Structure 1
Amino acid sequence: FGKGVYFADCSSKSANYCFANKQSSTGVLLLSEVSLGGAYERLAAEYEAAPACRKAGKQHTWGRGKAAPKEDEAVTLPGDPGLKVPLGPVVPTGVQGSSLLYNEFIVYDISQIKQRFVLQVKFHY
């Protein structure tokens, strides 16, 4: 999807980018609040998504995956009613024709990102 900042609604998607292994089993995940706005929706990776997204007047690219956390299991943080945190098991999305396993959200303007939590995680092999 080109140059941008990538986010996922499924922690296992992001965990793959920690590059942990048996010898180095600790990773770091950054949980961010992202103001997505309008979506430029794609069913496959598209290297030139950034200019196409801007041309379409959208604020982010949404790579629509075949699986995602159940929306009705998302939680809202106390004191922040507009902020939903995806939780729960990954289920099929019903999106037809996607070559992407999980959702990907790409923003091209860092002002859309608010870093919230840094998690140090231990992977078990």
Structure 2
Amino acid sequence: MLLCEVALGKMYECYKMTNLSAEKLPVGTQSAKGCGQTIPDPKKHYYTDDGVLVPMGLGVNAKLPQSSLLYNEYIVYDTEQIKIKYLLRIEFNYKD
């Protein structure tokens, strides 16, 4: 898994899955955010010394009944907006 620092710019927010290409973004926006029903607890967010927001904490209800998405999704179309920070090796141990 890659953990990246991303310059989202002004985001276009949507509440359902859509085939949104860069050409279809509203003028003045640089990325898209799919707003999910579950979000990291805003009370647990952390800001780095250089002002980067790091969402943390257990998932809480976002109180967005109009959303058909379970979790937030962020889409950027320009790779210049992405800085790879960490490469993680993760092992999932599923229990039946």
Same fold (TM over 0.5): yes
CA distance in 2, matches of 1:43, 1:74: 22
Q: Does 1:113 align with 2:82?
A: yes
Percent of pairs identical after alignment?
Answer: 39
Q: CA deviation at 1:117?
A: 0.5
The structure with the greater share of residues assigned to helix is: 1
Report the more deviating stretch, 62-71 or 80-89: 80-89
Q: Does 1:33 align with 2:2?
A: no
Match of 2:17 among 17, 24, 45: 45
RMSD: 1.3
The count of corresponding residues between Structure 1 and Structure 2 is 94
CA distance in 1, matches of 2:82, 2:20: 21
Which 5+ residue runs of structure 2 have no aligned equivalent?
none
Residue matched to 2:27: 56
TM-score where L is the length of structure 1:
0.70
Q: Does 1:75 align with 2:46?
A: yes
Q: CA deviation at 1:87?
A: 1.1
Residue matched to 1:84: 53
Q: CA deviation at 1:49?
A: 4.2
Which 5+ residue runs of structure 1 have no aligned equivalent?
1-28
Match of 1:94 among 63, 67, 84: 63
Match of 1:66 among 32, 37, 41: 37
> 3-state DSSP class of the match of 1:121?
coil
> 3-state DSSP class of the match of 1:33?
strand
CA distance in 2, matches of 1:49, 1:93: 26
What letter is aligned with 2:42? E
